Amino acid sequence: MADVPIPQGRRAGWQWPQMRKLVAARGFQKWAARNVLTRRIVRAEGEALFDLVAGFCHSQILQALVAFDIPARLMNGPAGAEALARQAGVPEDRMLVLLRAGVALGLLKQKRAGRFALSRRGAALVGVPGLQQMIRHHDVLYRDLSDPVAFFRGETQPELAGFWPYVFGGEVGPQDAATYSDLMAQSQLLVADDTLDAVNLSGVTRLMDVGGGTGAFLTQVGARHAELSLTLFDLPAVVPEAEARFASAGLTDRTRIMPGSFRSDALPAGADAISLIRVLYDHTDETVADLLAKCFAALPDGGRLIVSEPMRGGAAPERAGDAYFALYTLAMGTGKARSADEIAALCAQAGFADIQKPASRRPFVTRCVTAVKKS
């Protein structure tokens, strides 16, 4: 360590550029790893760095566990590698590698006699609505990110851009609509819970959910607020499934479905609140500005706007918004993850006032922005 000077408090006049060089020095790293005061920090930072390096392996382990339905199978109780391998059509020795990796990631537990069981985290993986469906379609995103240098240079044509054809405003066939609607409906349950916990709907008589798919969000609203009338506005292709969902929930008499595209059609009037649940981040600023203007026009004076979706952390970047959804929307080729402040600014530009950003219980699931139309 003789060639690596150690700062002695503030009197040494050390600033971050000097500290950065010190931390990067091999000699300092060796010294810090042995020192009783710093070795825990060194180990924690080292493990965090290794998790970043190995992260692509971790995601593939997760993908394989879900693809082979291992979490769902283990919900019935512990099982051995031989039985799981036979069910998945995988050589037993390779299944054993996968299962041990699942243990290392905290998703599984290794029991006696070579049997494996779900951990608490693994059980949550099964129980979180829509999570496994999201993981299953990640193979598309993985292919899009296979050359990250070309991806960030904008030199690729991401496959994910074709996975959600509705975003580009074209015709959506029944199969594409069903694929999209199923994934959105499954994952909408957590979003609905957190949105309705964060947003006060008192005083609202009719809520119109724009771009609401088959009505998963409105179904949750209807279950919580028996006094509300509900309107769904979305593409014609989702109408049959939405009708079936509302009928199953006993909401047919309280709901109406207005087929249309917010890209080309005006929004119907009559609602005193409009919700945009995971809609804005699929679209460009121009499309969002146009949609917010249509929301403003459709609402009466005092009408309320509710935006709920994953958002960036803004000045303090966060993993969910800045290291996942920002890349996902970039791969889609049309949308982008925005911070709550950016969405608030777009709302203000459309004419809305009294813009609020209520706290969300799980910001990695969704954040909310609300606004009011005032003449």
C-alpha to C-alpha distance for 362 and 318, rounded to whole angstroms: 13
Read off the pLDDT of residues 87-144 as tens digits, 9 standing for 90 and up.
Answer: 999 999 999 999 999 999 999 999 988 899 999 999 999 988 788 888 988 888 999 9
Q: Residue 370 pLDDT more than 50? A: yes
Closest CA to 366 of 375, 357, 374: 357
Amino acid type, 91: P
Per DSSP, the residues of 183-250 read HHHHHHHHHHHHHHHHS--TT-SEEEEET-TTTHHHHHHHHH-TT-EEEEEE-GGGHHHHHHHHHHTT
Predicted confidence band at 23 (pLDDT cuts at 50, 70, 90)? confident
Could you tell me if 275 and 308 are in contact, meaning their C-beta atoms sit under 8 angstroms apart?
yes
User: How many residues make up the chain in this entry?
Assistant: 375
C-alpha to C-alpha distance for 374 and 301, rounded to whole angstroms: 5
Domain locations along the chain:
15-53, 55-127, 148-373
C-alpha to C-alpha distance for 172 and 175, rounded to whole angstroms: 8
- What confidence score (pLDDT) does residue 178 get? 56
pTM here is 0.85
Per DSSP, the residues of 324-362 read IIHHHHHHHTS----BHHHHHHHHHHTTEEEEE----S-
CATH T-level topology, domain 55-127:
Arc Repressor Mutant, subunit A (1.10.10)
Q: Residue 167 pLDDT more than 70? A: no
C-alpha to C-alpha distance for 116 and 102, rounded to whole angstroms: 10
Q: Residue 29 pLDDT more than 80? A: no
- What confidence score (pLDDT) does residue 180 get? 55
Q: Residue 179 pLDDT more than 60? A: no
304-309 vs 367-373, strand pairing mode: antiparallel
273-277 vs 206-210, strand pairing mode: parallel
Q: Which residues of 291-319 are buried (b: 16+ CB within 10 A; e: fewer)?
A: bbebbbebbeeebbbbbbbbbbbeeeebe
- What confidence score (pLDDT) does residue 190 get? 85
Count of other CB atoms within 10 angstroms of residue 106 = 11
CATH superfamily of 148-373: Vaccinia Virus protein VP39 (3.40.50.150)
Would you call 74 helix, strand, or coil by DSSP?
helix
Q: Residue 42 pLDDT more than 70? A: yes
Q: Residue 183 pLDDT more than 70? A: no
Token pair in block for residue 305: 């706007």
Least confident of 25-29, 252-256, 280-284: 25-29
C-alpha to C-alpha distance for 253 and 157, rounded to whole angstroms: 45
Least confident of 128-132, 178-182, 224-228, 230-234: 178-182
Closest CA to 25 of 48, 43, 2, 41: 2
Token pair in block for residue 106: 């905290």
Predicted confidence band at 185 (pLDDT cuts at 50, 70, 90)? low
Q: Which residues of 13-29 are buried (b: 16+ CB within 10 A; e: fewer)?
A: eeeeeeeeebeebeebb
- What confidence score (pLDDT) does residue 176 get? 53
Mean pLDDT of the chain, nearest integer? 88
